[in-house]
Structure formats: C-alpha cells, structure tokens
C-alpha cells in the first residue's frame, strides 16, 4: 500500500462511498476513482469489465447497492434481489478475473437471522430465518459475503466483507417516506421547532433498542481493512453499544433544540426488540469507533442545516 495505489470506490456518491472518499483523501491517497450511475451501469457486466480494464484499480471497495425501506423491499422484491446480485457479482467476478489485489465488500446487519441471539456474532450467519421485510436485500448481500469467502478460500485472495450496523451522517437521506429512524427524527424535530415547538409524533412505544454508527467511523473501518490484511473474511462494524428509541429521541430533541412534547403513537409497530452487533473481532485486531452518538448527531444536524435549501429542492 502506498498513497498512489489506485482505489476504485463503487458507489462513491452515496453516504458511505463519499465518506470513504473523504477519509482516503484526508490521509493523502491521490489515485481515487469513481463513476456515477450515469457513467457506469454496474448491472452491466461488459461495462464493468471494460471500466476495470481501462482504469486498472489495485483495490476495489464495493459501497454500491440498490437500497430502500420496508415498503420498497416489499413492493420490488425481484429488483432488490436481482439488481443487488448483478452489481456485486459483476464487481467481484471482474475483480477476480482481472487480478485486482484487494476487494472490500460492504453489506448490512440484516444478513443475520431475525431472531438471532444478541449481540449478533459473525458466526450466526445462515443459522436461521431472515427478517421477511428485507430478506431480498439480505439474500443478495449474503451471496456477496459467500462469494468473497469462496474466492479467499479457493484462490487465497484478499477479499473481505464488512457488515455495518445502522449508519447515519453527512449526505444522509432525510426524506420521511424512505429515510431511516435517526435522520427522520432530525428532520421531524427541526420542522417542529420551526413551527413554534409543535409536538412531534413518533411511532411505537420507544422501547426497542438500536445501535448507530457515524458514517465517518465506517469509512475509517474500511481504510483500516484497506491498509491491513485481515485474518478472516467477515467482520461486523459497529459501536457495540445501543440505546432505546426513546433515549435516541431525547438526545436528538436536545441537540436540535426542540422544546415541545413528544407523542408516542403506540398503535404503530415497534419492529425488532433489539439489534446489536458483536464487534469484538474488529476490536481484537485494532479498530474501534471514535465518534460518540452525540458528536455524530450534532455533525449530522449541522450538515442538514447547511444543506437544507438544496434538500428541500429535492423534497429532502
């Protein structure tokens, strides 16, 4: 590894990909490659092959995926399974056939069984049934993990998979129809504050527990995997700490400065009671998150405020 190593970040415009790009740039890496979805359709194997042949990356980081919430997963199961498999299969197979020396595959904690013991260990993969609401996306990501494991086992290549917990941060999605819980709360509390501290209605009881990782910490984990040869094929990336949704709401409310009431609509579903990652494997080889939840939310809210006009133009 040196600062001139050619690194291709697939999905470099997304929240995770852009954070990886920022982190590598800050560390002095000068040969970063990216291509937007308009420039390169990752579902097209021939186009992917030609792109890798022409750019000759030493390392590929796969931060590209078709993503969406429960509704999208439910309404478009074929697209979520097929398109995600196409994207990762094309990148993995061409990286292998064109002798790219290192491949880092990014997945999601949804690969683990719905009712797996807590905290979630890497060994729990494929031990029971998945959560039905996002099983199509999860299945695609599991095939990516297993492909990287197979290449590592059969060809002794440095292909590794990193599975993050719930991510949030700069360039997050604040659209209330498709955003995740943390950015959705930031927007709700901000808009309520602007409306004379109107009450904020949140779903469920607030009792489920969730873990959150600031996206720049995820990027640091990717750089750690890039700069080191990890001894195993699969690692969880998270904080190893969780809190209730009610505690999360109180934290965001304080940071945003909203002083109105919070109303919990208990007629709405809570979802899985707990979802915590076991990150002891990553800790044991030298990586640990650095950004506290309060710091991360403050940074995310600052970015939201700085970009609120452009976000409004795109309906958040």
Domain count, the chain: 1
Radius of gyration of the chain (CA): 20
Q: What pLDDT does 166 receive?
A: 95
Q: What pLDDT does 314 receive?
A: 72
Taking residues 181-210, what's their average pLDDT?
96
Q: Does residue 123 form part of some domain?
A: yes
- Annotated binding-site residues for NADP(+) read 11-17, 106-109, 141, 164-167, 180
Give backbone dihedrals phi and psi of 215, rounded to 5 degrees, phi first. -60, -30
Q: What pLDDT does 217 receive?
A: 98
Q: Which residues are CB-neighbours of 293 under 8 A, at least 6 positions away? A: 212, 214, 239, 243, 251
Taking residues 292-315, what's their average pLDDT?
92
Residue 177 pLDDT grade (very low, low, confident, very high; cuts 50, 70, 90):
confident
Is 75 exposed, middle or buried (CB count within 10 Å of its CB: 0-12, 13-18, 19+)?
A: exposed
In DSSP notation, the chain reads --TT--EEEETTTSHHHHHHHHHHHHTT---EE---TTT--TT-HHHHHHHHHHH--SEEEE-------HHHHHH-HHHHHHHHHHHHHHHHHHHHHTT-SEEEEE--GGGS-TT--SSBPGGGTTSSPPPGGGHHHHHHHHHHHHHHHHHHHHH--EEEEEEE-EEE-TT----TTT--HHHHHHHHHHHHHHTTS--EEEES-S--EE-EEEHHHHHHHHHHHHHS--SSSEEEES-S--EEHHHHHHHHHHHHT--S-EEEETTS----SEE-B--HHHHHHT------HHHHHHHHHHHHHHTHHHHHHTT-
Q: Model's pTM, two decimal places?
A: 0.94
Q: Does residue 66 form part of some domain?
A: yes
137 is an active site residue: yes
Q: Does residue 226 form part of some domain?
A: yes
Residue 300 pLDDT grade (very low, low, confident, very high; cuts 50, 70, 90):
very high
- Per-residue model confidence as pLDDT tens digits over 132-160: 888 999 999 999 999 999 999 999 999 99
The CATH number covering residue 254 comes to 3.40.50.720
For residue 63, CA distances in Å to 136, 183, 202, 272 come to: 18, 20, 31, 26
User: Distance between CA atoms of 87 and 201, rounded to whole angstroms?
Assistant: 38
Q: Does residue 2 form part of some domain?
A: no
Within 10 angstroms of residue 248's Cβ, the number of other Cβ atoms is 22
Residue 272 pLDDT grade (very low, low, confident, very high; cuts 50, 70, 90):
confident
- Per-residue model confidence as pLDDT tens digits over 14-44: 999 999 999 999 999 999 999 999 999 999 9
Domain containing 242 equals: 7-313
- Annotated binding-site residues read 11-17, 106-109, 141, 164-167, 180, 188, 203, 210, 270
Q: What pLDDT does 270 receive?
A: 83
Q: What pLDDT does 67 receive?
A: 83
Return the HEC string of 1-33.
Answer: CCCCCCEEEECCCCHHHHHHHHHHHHCCCCCEE
Q: Does residue 1 form part of some domain?
A: no
Q: Does residue 165 form part of some domain?
A: yes
Q: Does residue 178 form part of some domain?
A: yes
Taking residues 52-58, what's their average pLDDT?
97
Taking residues 245-263, what's their average pLDDT?
98
Q: Which residues are CB-neighbours of 6 under 8 A, at least 6 positions away? A: 31, 33, 55, 56, 57, 58, 59
- Annotated binding-site residues for substrate read 188, 203, 210, 270
For residue 313, CA distances in Å to 101, 307, 310 come to: 42, 10, 5
Whether the CB-CB separation of 141 and 110 falls below 8 Å is answered with yes
Given the residues 8, 29, 112, 137, select the one marked as catalytic.
Answer: 137
pLDDT of 231 over the 80 cut: yes
Q: Does residue 194 form part of some domain?
A: yes
- Write out the two tokens for 86: 């196409």
């Amino acid at each position: 590894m040196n600062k001139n190593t050619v690194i291709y970040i697939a999905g470099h415009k997304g929240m995770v990909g852009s954070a990886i790009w920022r982190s590598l740039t800050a560390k002095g890496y000068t040969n970063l490659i990216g291509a937007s979805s308009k420039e390169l359709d990752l579902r097209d194997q021939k186009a992917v092959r030609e792109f890798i042949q022409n750019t000759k990356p030493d390392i590929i980081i796969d931060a590209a995926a078709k993503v969406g919430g429960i509704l999208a997963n439910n309404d478009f199961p074929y697209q979520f399974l097929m398109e995600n498999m196409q994207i990762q299969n094309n990148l993995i197979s061409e990286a292998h056939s064109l002798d790219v020396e290192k491949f880092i595959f990014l997945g999601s904690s949804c690969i683990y069984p719905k009712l797996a013991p807590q905290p979630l260990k890497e060994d729990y993969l494929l031990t029971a049934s998945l959560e039905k609401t996002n099983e199509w996306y999860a299945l695609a990501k599991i095939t990516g993990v297993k492909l990287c494991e197979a290449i590592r086992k059969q060809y002794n290549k440095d292909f590794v998979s990193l599975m993050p917990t719930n991510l949030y941060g700069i360039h997050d999605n604040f659209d209330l129809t498709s955003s995740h819980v943390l950015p959705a709360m930031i927007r709700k509390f901000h808009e309520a504050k602007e409306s004379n501290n109107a009450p904020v209605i949140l779903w469920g009881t607030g009792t489920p527990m969730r873990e959150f990782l600031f996206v720049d910490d995820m990027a640091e984990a990717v750089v750690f995997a890039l700069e080191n040869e990890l001894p195993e094929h699969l690692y969880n990336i998270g904080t190893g700490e969780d809190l209730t949704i009610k505690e999360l709401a109180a934290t965001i409310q304080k940071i945003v400065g909203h002083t109105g009431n919070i109303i919990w609509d208990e007629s709405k579903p809570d979802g899985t009671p707990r979802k915590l990652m076991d990150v002891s494997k990553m800790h044991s080889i030298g990586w640990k998150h650095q950004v506290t939840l309060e710091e991360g939310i403050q940074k995310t809210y600052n970015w939201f405020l700085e970009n609120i006009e452009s976000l409004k133009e795109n309906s958040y």
